[in-house]
Each structure stands twice: as C-alpha cells, then as structure tokens.
Copies of this chain bind each other. A is one copy, B any other.
Amino acid sequence: MTKSRFNPWTWLWVTVATLYFFVPLWGTFDFSLRMKRGAITFLAYQKVFADPKFLQSFRYSATMGVITVIVSIMLFVPTTYWIHLKLPRLRPVVELLTLLPFIIPVIVLVFGLIRTFSRPPFRMTQTEFTTDILITAGYVILSMPFMFRAVDVGMRAIDVRTLTEAAQSLGAGWLRVLLSVILPNLRVAILSGSLITFATVVGELILADFLVRPALGPYMVVVGGGKAYEPAALGILSFGLTWICLGIIQLVSRGDVRLQPIGR
C-alpha cells in the first residue's frame, strides 16, 4: 500500500530477528575460541574431537538417527498417503495426535516407556539391543510431528488424490502408484522431514539419559556441567551440522524445478 519498497518496518523486523538469533550465537562462538587466554584458537574444538567419548556418543547418536529416519519414513509415508486418500476426515485427528510429543513432556513419555517395558512381560531394558529398540520407538514418536507434517504438506502440494486416480485409471496398482507417482513427487518433503528427524535424534537428551545409552545429548550435558569452553564448541558444532542439513534441503528443493508452479 505504501509507495516505498523499503518499508522501514520490514527492516526493523529483520534486524530484530537477526539480533535475537545471532547475538547469542556469536557470543557462544566467540567464547569457544578463547580457551587459551589472550588468543583466538580452536583448542576447545581440538579437545572435543580428541575425547573418545565424543566420537563414541556421536557415532551412537548418528546410527540411531539413521535408523529412526528409516523407520519414520516406512511408517509415516504410507500412513499419511492412506489418510489423504481414504480418510481425509481423520486428518485433523491425526494431526493432533502427531502434535502430542510436543505437548506431553518427554519426561512423561520416558516414565511411561520405562514403567511399561522394563517390567515383565517385556523386560526390554535388560539388554542393550532391546533398549535400543525401545529408544528408537521413543525417537520415532518424538520425530513424528516433523515427518508427518513434512509429508503431509508435500502431499497437499501435489493433489495426491487426483494423481492416484489418474494413475489407477491407467492400470497402475497401489504399489506402482506409490513408487512411480507419489514418492518421486515427495522427494523434497521426505528429505526435509528426514533431516529434521535426524537433527532431533542427535540433539535429544532425556530419553537417552534415562535409558542410560551413550548418546550425544547426555554427553553434552555432562561436558556442559563440568567444563567451560568445550560445551560452547560443541554447541557451535551442532549448530553447524544443523545448517548443513538445512542447506541441503534448500539446495535440493531449489534444484527441483519440477515442483515450481507455473508462471506467477
């Protein structure tokens, strides 16, 4: 409505948001470089990487992350597809359900998991392997909102229902429709859901702590409690990892010209 393209309010907002996000980040980064008094060094980072426990916990968390992503995709892509196609009236209910992990404190989830599955008949906390199954189940629940939403938005963007009917009328069965028509058009959505899921698992704290598994989150808290500069370095590292993930999403979705709408 206003004539100028450089609305001062827009710029004010952008500035405030930038400060809000990046001042703390810059503070952390700056601090992480000052381990050696009076010099700017990457000593804190070296110490982090030198700690075998860091590598061990990172490897553990990364593995769990990949497993969680795979399970999530296998669970949520068909489910979401099914809901879009057959039970659209159920969508709001499912959407609410997938929000539960945000709303129920993780700690309640952990209590519930431990209370239920550490007792007979399950006794799943007895061995490392079964504990890992349990923890994966927990991670899948925690990442549910991201995966469901990403896939849901992706499906809404392509009118899944009409595409499915078109493919069916050409003779394609369910599996064919899913693999040839639906999945290729959800590439970006699934990738973005996966990366966020991965990042969530790698950063998760409470579940691994209570189930006593060597994950990155609890390790960071231990380091954070006992040391000063290493946690800052860890924070910056995990932030960097995150931005790499986001960068990949952006890159892929920009390259995918086929998802762009026609004209303006």
Contacts and interface: CB of A to CB of B under 8 A. Distances in A.
Interface of A: 1, 7, 9-10, 13, 17, 20-21, 23-25, 27-28, 31, 79, 82, 86-87, 96-97, 99-100, 102-109, 111-113, 115-117, 119, 137, 141, 146, 168, 174, 196, 199-200, 203-206, 217, 220-221, 224, 231-232, 234-235, 238-239, 242, 245-246, 249-250
22 contacts: A1-B168, A1-B174, A10-B86, A13-B79, A21-B97, A24-B115, A27-B115, A27-B116, A27-B119, A28-B108, A28-B111, A96-B246, A99-B196, A103-B196, A103-B200, A103-B242, A104-B238, A105-B204, A105-B217, A107-B235, A111-B224, A205-B206
Contacts of A231: 111
Nearest to A138: B24
A216 to B, nearest CB: 9
A190 B239 CA distance: 30
Contact of A203 (B31, B105, B220, B238): B105
Given A17-B97, A24-B112, 5 more contacts: A21-B100, A28-B112, A28-B116, A31-B115, A102-B199
A31 B10 CA distance: 54
A238 B205 contact: no
Contacts of A100: 21, 242
A224 B24 contact: no
Nearest to A79: B13
A24 B105 contact: no
Copies of this chain, complex-wide, total 2
Contacts of A116: 23-24, 27-28
A239 B96 contact: no
A245 to B, nearest CB: 7
A28 B104 contact: no
A26 B162 CA distance: 41
A82 B17 contact: no
Between A23, A113, A115, A224, the greatest number of chain B beta carbons within 10 A of the residue's beta carbon is seen for: A115
Contact of A220 (B86, B105, B119, B238): B105
A7 B116 CA distance: 30
A264 to B, nearest CB: 11
A237 B119 CA distance: 23
